[in-house]
């Protein structure tokens, strides 16, 4: 910028001072200085983050020896602005394990609301004469993953409460288009028959597990040991945890065990929950004093039904909280099916299964909040499939969307929490994911300086020993929680030719904290 003296020399003509030109120059100079000042103020108001502490922390972490032979994805995103503050393979896809549940639970919460309740209904078709129903009873399932035997018994008690003691027809479970029993084919054989993943169904009862009463055995239905009919499948099912199935045999009206080593004493997975849970409901009805004559009365099914009773589940927020905390795979799959009960996104999935329709809905929702379809591949809603793969950036965008304004969000309230009770800074709300050679963690860190950051770490192809890996991830999160201010100090309003970088006075020295404690679980999550 020219000085006043240089301006005078520039404007002198023939030894005389040009006054009109001087006036014009003064106005232009004043306007130019004012423009610079406004620009400088604007830049100060929108000062970029001081990323030096964060970059140093992340780069040093990536150099740790236990990470050198693994595939690492790390992204830190500033939630209010959406700016990516640090990224190492942040847009690459990784096998996610159970952090997949963030997608499923967030989509369910966003679509149905925190106060949504599953409503399982019991309907009567036909006419009532005295204490006799000349028709059928029908359970209308809702995909509720939480329904228990005691709650189903209470629902069936509504029949007697209406004065009905005899039902001429049958008690059945209504079928839902695209529903029915489902065990995802992309899961590995080692997941087949394990208690961490029962088949999904329209009517879930007791987590679709047949639980044995130590005193009475299996009280609902007589159990018999079934023969092993397939040696190859039987050998695939063998594992240290002892997979087993229980299936209902409609022809014999009994339950059959199928286990490579014979019946077990604990709870077994129900192989055909639609038939099994319906049979259990019929047994509960009989024990409640309702006589079922079992006649085939199809004509009455066209009548307008009467709702005899309804069971409302706990609010969706509580269901999601358990799903995230316990990494419950069945809960996540039932939430995916619930998403699939909405109208299909296109005709291509109109006749698909509830899981497929749920995945289509989930992809559509992700696209609506800015997640690129090229960064997400999903085969289930829980994360057991090794074919799932998506980027850290995709997860962080979901966290940003669900955080809401001023980080006041019902979804954040249900995420597992790490921090002092009542603390508003230095906290972490998160979801983990773990299976063989996969370790992931994703959530929202509120730093010591109050900066809200979406943080996702995805590690694939690590060694079988995970102790050092867990310590490494815990150290990173602890240091992120302890970060000071990420902003530059305010600059003067008058621009300087060569501004000098200023160090953040709130940045504090950090020492390596003790490793974060993690639970040891044999289940895959």
Q: Where does the pLDDT of residue 244 fall: very low under 50, low under 70, confident under 90, or very high at 90 and above?
A: low
- Which among 139, 123, 131 has a CA at the least distance from the CA of 168? 131
Q: Which residue has the tokens 């004093």?
A: 289
Q: In this predicted model, which residue has the larger pLDDT, 79 or 499?
A: 79
Mean pLDDT of 303-308: 92
What tens digit of pLDDT does each residue of 42-58 get? 333 456 668 999 999 99
How far, CA to CA in Å, does 370 sit from each of 2, 82, 128, 337, 363?
A: 48, 11, 55, 23, 11
Tokens found for residue 9: 């020399």
What tens digit of pLDDT does each residue of 312-361 get? 999 999 999 999 999 999 999 999 999 999 999 888 888 899 999 999 99
Q: What is the spatial distance between Cα 459 and Cα 463, in angstroms, rounded to a whole number?
A: 11
Mean pLDDT of 253-267: 54
- Strand 171-173 and strand 389-390: pairing? unpaired
Q: Which residue has the tokens 């006043």?
A: 4
DSSP 8-class letter at 487: B
Backbone torsions φ then ψ of 135, nearest 5 degrees? 180, -150
What tens digit of pLDDT does each residue of 80-123 get? 889 999 999 999 999 999 999 999 999 999 999 999 999 999 99
Which DSSP helix (H) or strand (E) runs through 441?
strand 438-446
Is the pLDDT at 254 greater than 90? The verdict is: no
pLDDT of residue 240: 41
Task: Show Cβ contacts of residue 405 under 8 Å, excluding neighbours closer than 6 positions.
Answer: none
Q: Confirm if 179 and 354 have CB atoms less than 8 A apart.
A: yes
Q: What is the spatial distance between Cα 3 and Cα 12, in angstroms, rounded to a whole number?
A: 15
- Which among 403, 358, 402 has a CA at the least distance from the CA of 378? 358
* Per-residue exposure over 277-291, b if at least 16 CB sit within 10 Å of its own CB, e if not: bbbbbbebbeeeebe
Mean pLDDT of 222-229: 43
Domains, the chain, ordered by start = 52-100+374-481 (3.40.710.10), 119-313 (3.50.80.20)
Q: In this predicted model, which residue has the larger pLDDT, 300 or 389?
A: 389
Mean pLDDT rounded to a whole number for the chain: 81
Tokens found for residue 384: 């057991």
Choose the most confident range, by mean pLDDT, from 29-38, 190-199, 272-281, 441-450.
Answer: 441-450
- Determine the Cα angle at 331 with ends 326 and 337, to 5°: 155
pTM over 0.75: yes
Q: Confirm if 481 and 447 have CB atoms less than 8 A apart.
A: yes
Q: Where does the pLDDT of residue 509 fall: very low under 50, low under 70, confident under 90, or very high at 90 and above?
A: very low
Q: What is the spatial distance between Cα 514 and Cα 51, in angstroms, rounded to a whole number?
A: 25
pLDDT of residue 60: 97
């Amino acid at each position: 910028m020219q000085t006043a003296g240089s301006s005078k020399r520039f404007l002198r003509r023939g030894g005389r001072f040009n006054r009109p030109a001087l006036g014009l120059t003064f106005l232009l100079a004043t306007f130019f200085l004012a423009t610079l000042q406004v620009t400088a103020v604007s830049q100060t108001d929108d000062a970029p983050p001081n990323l030096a502490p964060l970059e140093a922390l992340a780069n040093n972490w990536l150099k740790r020896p236990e990470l050198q032979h693994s595939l690492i994805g790390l992204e830190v995103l500033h939630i209010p602005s959406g700016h990516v503050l640090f990224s190492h393979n942040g847009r690459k896809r990784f096998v996610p394990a159970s952090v997949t549940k963030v997608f499923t639970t967030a989509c369910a919460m966003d679509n149905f609301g925190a106060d949504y309740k599953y409503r399982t209904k019991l309907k009567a078709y036909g006419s009532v004469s005295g204490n006799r129903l000349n028709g059928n009873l029908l359970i209308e399932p809702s995909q509720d993953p939480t329904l228990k035997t005691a709650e189903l018994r209470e629902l069936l008690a509504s029949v007697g409460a209406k004065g009905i003691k005899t039902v001429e027809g049958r008690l059945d479970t209504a079928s839902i288009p695209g529903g029915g029993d489902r065990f995802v084919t992309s899961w590995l054989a080692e997941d087949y028959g394990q208690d961490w993943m029962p088949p999904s169904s329209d009517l879930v009862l007791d987590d679709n597990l047949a639980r044995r009463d130590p005193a009475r055995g299996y009280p609902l239905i007589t159990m018999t040991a079934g023969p092993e009919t397939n040696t190859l499948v039987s050998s695939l099912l063998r594992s240290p945890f002892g997979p087993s199935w229980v299936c209902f045999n409609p022809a014999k009206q009994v339950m059959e065990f199928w286990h490579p080593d014979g019946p077990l004493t604990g709870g077994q997975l129900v192989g055909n929950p639609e038939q099994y849970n319906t049979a259990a409901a019929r047994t509960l009805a009989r024990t409640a004093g309702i006589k079922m004559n079992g006649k085939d009365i199809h004509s009455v099914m066209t009548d307008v039904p009467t709702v005899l009773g309804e069971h409302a589940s706990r609010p969706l927020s509580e269901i999601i909280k358990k799903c995230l905390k316990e990494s419950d795979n069945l809960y996540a799959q039932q939430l995916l099916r619930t998403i699939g009960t909405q109208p299909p996104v296109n005709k291509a999935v109109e006749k698909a299964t509830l899981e497929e329709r749920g995945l289509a809905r989930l992809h559509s929702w992700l696209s609506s909040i800015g997640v690129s379809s090229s960064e997400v591949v999903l085969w289930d809603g829980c994360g057991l499939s090794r074919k799932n793969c998506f980027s850290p950036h995709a997860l962080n965008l979901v966290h940003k969307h669900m955080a809401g304004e001023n980080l006041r969000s019902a979804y954040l309230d249900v995420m597992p929490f790490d921090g002092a009770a009542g603390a508003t800074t230095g906290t972490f709300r998160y979801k983990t994911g773990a299976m063989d050679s996969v370790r992931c963690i994703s959530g929202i860190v509120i730093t010591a300086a109050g900066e809200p950051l979406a943080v996702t770490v995805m590690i694939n192809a690590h060694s079988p020993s995970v102790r050092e890996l867990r310590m490494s991830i815990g150290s990173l999160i602890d240091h992120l929680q302890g970060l000071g201010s990420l902003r530059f100090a305010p600059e003067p309003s008058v621009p300087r030719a060569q501004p000098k970088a200023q160090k953040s006075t709130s940045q504090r020295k950090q020492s390596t904290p003790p490793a974060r404690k993690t639970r040891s679980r044999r289940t895959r999550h």
